[in-house]
Structure 1
């Protein structure tokens, strides 16, 4: 039996299908490969919801992903609500359009200091690049072009309008109110990922009509609006309560995310006020996911207790690090994270510098030098079809 959500009032029609599917569990957007149209389609067909990952893809690639997802769901159009109406697309917010970045971080002096830090970090990576026989991009080549960032972001918004995406969520920053207004005018509800009550107030103030509230146990990147900010450690249920209190005068639907791997957690989060619960790590070993071979190997070892185990309790040994991308993210612990723990707060520059090293290491099966995004419950996941994983996350099943 599917457990009801904890909604206190009906959702707006445009959001109901996306955030209130028959099973109140959404498959999280996992950029860099794990999220695929096949994974989202499998979860939607089984009664859940989900978001495609637009991060680290071009607008044309995301258009193709949306077309593919809709094609996979074409035979399910007679169902009510239609699975094809129950998805959204998650977009990264580049620095050029992120209103949450302090003005002080955009001054010529601050930008010059950042460039110097990236160049110095590149020098530290040269020995490893030589050992791996991997190319190392020039520091200038990985410096983002603000004009190009704005152009690509605008192209994503155009794709959302033209393809009539059912919903959009933003991660890595907070776009201007005009962005939310533009999507609202097109009938597209838009939300943002937040990690604190303060960020929640800012998101709603800019026009977000729902929030993804991300707790500290989440695998992969933390969704702090200011990329230089250290993510909080408030547990997810407490954070939900704090966000609800902060928004008591302007309540919006809340999606709880971060470290969810079983139905008990889902039920408790729904009871704490979440409209739906988002899970990512739980789906990484499904056949429908695009998880890389190296990542799957590491996760299997974690589940078996053969590696990446915490010495105290045998659970997954994970930590939050900037070593791989220049932005805080949770990974299974590897030597690379210790060696480059002081990587500068510079995304996407650090990500671009380490990308070729990580690709070569992954091709060789070298798990010491690749990012292995995973939540704290990675040792509890299973290698099963996405529909089976969804059933295991469903309260009352």
Structure 2
């Protein structure tokens, strides 16, 4: 890369990626993303993506209807999208070898072994672990659920769709384009970006290593990269060349001074998730809020030298790499199998029981590296703090 100026972004940029304030509320599955949070950010001048992951199509329809009811103008109603998980059954980035009988047997054995390791903790917490068969996904059911989501997008005319956890087939992008719905993909490397655009992605969310929650590698078996976000955005922009599409930069953004360099590197907007977790509009759980308050106060989940949030990547809770505040459970199960959603299903009862008891050692506390800077203020105030500005 010899140039220091990123190529211009081709028009048009999908409306959810082009708000007056170039900041989007990132989708946070499992509860934090709500219509109220999205609406507050949009009304304050930003954009937002609802989280379709871990929800049924009927539940997502209800979320979309709820969000639209909270928005006052057609312009505001055009500034949201819906993020969908890509199950393995429709993920073109899953290697053929990973779908074979031997691979499936080995995976089931690894999940069964993990279940045995979790049994003593389950007994201590009074939780009942599901069987391996119960948590093993049915490919036909995955395909049917994904089809239901696409039908909901068409019928409700979502302004945009973003995919995470994989790369759908080109006909999915063509189908949404025919319905007037721009579809994008969350990527973590230039190679993933090129594959997504070749399949028909109209925009990309470029996720850096400091992001809280799940890393969005297209291949669920891949170890996420460590290239810093600004360098990654610049590398993706130049790797795409003439095929460039609008980019959104995501991962560890908690301050407006971080935004301008990302826009200069080639992003049209940034997405923030952790920064919104303590807002009253977010659906963040009580346990998660308690942990974030402790991290921001420096009384727990913090490095002793500088008070920064102590976070790490783990597969212990879900079977997919995700960044969260460091817990003893993460340390104990650092070698959890790469098996999502099976591991997520196994640990679900444990996490729920721990959360009910206020036990922060065994719940997942997704957060980016800037979790110690999260403030307990309204979403509009958070958005204002993220508006791009020069370094002080």
**Same fold by TM-score greater than 0.5:** yes
Which deviations, in whole Å up to 9, do the C-alpha atoms of 1:271-307 show, x marking residues without a partner? 1110000000000000000000000000000000000
What is residue 158 of structure 1 aligned with on the other side?
151
Q: Distance in 1 between matches of 2:331 and 2:15?
A: 43
Picking from 180, 190, 194, the partner of 2:183 is 190
Q: Distance in 2 between matches of 1:135 and 1:64?
A: 31
What is residue 52 of structure 1 aligned with on the other side?
50
Q: SS state of the match for residue 229, structure 1?
A: coil
Q: Does 1:223 align with 2:216?
A: yes
What is residue 21 of structure 1 aligned with on the other side?
19
Alpha-carbon shift at residue 10 of structure 1 (Å): 5.5
8 Å CA contact retained: 1:7, 1:275:
no
Alpha-carbon shift at residue 241 of structure 1 (Å): 1.2
Runs of 4+ residues over 2 Å off in structure 1: 6-11
What is residue 70 of structure 2 aligned with on the other side?
72
What is residue 306 of structure 2 aligned with on the other side?
313
Q: Any unmatched runs of 5+ in structure 2?
A: 1-5
Q: Does 1:128 align with 2:121?
A: yes
When the two chains are superposed, the root-mean-square deviation of aligned CA atoms in Å is 1.1
Q: Does 1:97 align with 2:94?
A: no
Q: Does 1:11 align with 2:14?
A: no
8 Å CA contact retained: 1:174, 1:203:
yes
Alpha-carbon shift at residue 16 of structure 1 (Å): 3.7
The verdict on how the C-alpha distance between 1:9 and 1:351 changes in structure 2, with shifts beyond 3 A counting, is closer
What is residue 139 of structure 1 aligned with on the other side?
132
What is residue 357 of structure 1 aligned with on the other side?
350
What is residue 84 of structure 1 aligned with on the other side?
77
Picking from 234, 255, 259, the partner of 1:262 is 255
Picking from 372, 383, 391, the partner of 1:379 is 372
8 Å CA contact retained: 2:127, 2:349:
yes
Q: Does 1:279 align with 2:277?
A: no
Q: SS state of the match for residue 249, structure 1?
A: helix
What is residue 385 of structure 2 aligned with on the other side?
392
Picking from 233, 236, 248, the partner of 1:243 is 236
With structure 1 as the length reference, what TM-score do the two structures score?
A: 0.96
Q: Distance in 1 between matches of 2:9 and 2:212?
A: 31
8 Å CA contact retained: 1:192, 1:210:
yes
Q: SS state of the match for residue 334, structure 2?
A: coil
The verdict on how the C-alpha distance between 1:249 and 1:147 changes in structure 2, with shifts beyond 3 A counting, is same
Alpha-carbon shift at residue 27 of structure 1 (Å): 0.3
8 Å CA contact retained: 1:212, 1:257:
yes
Q: Distance in 2 between matches of 1:157 and 1:9?
A: 27
Alpha-carbon shift at residue 376 of structure 1 (Å): 0.1
Q: Distance in 2 between matches of 1:188 and 1:395?
A: 28
The verdict on how the C-alpha distance between 1:85 and 1:217 changes in structure 2, with shifts beyond 3 A counting, is same
8 Å CA contact retained: 2:9, 2:244:
no
> What is the aligned residue count?
385
Comparing 292-301 and 264-273, the one that deviates more: 264-273
Q: Distance in 2 between matches of 1:24 and 1:357?
A: 39
8 Å CA contact retained: 1:29, 1:51:
yes
What is residue 142 of structure 2 aligned with on the other side?
149
The verdict on how the C-alpha distance between 1:7 and 1:291 changes in structure 2, with shifts beyond 3 A counting, is farther
What is residue 3 of structure 1 aligned with on the other side?
none
Alpha-carbon shift at residue 8 of structure 1 (Å): 2.6
Q: Distance in 2 between matches of 1:76 and 1:260?
A: 28
Q: Distance in 1 between matches of 2:177 and 2:372?
A: 40
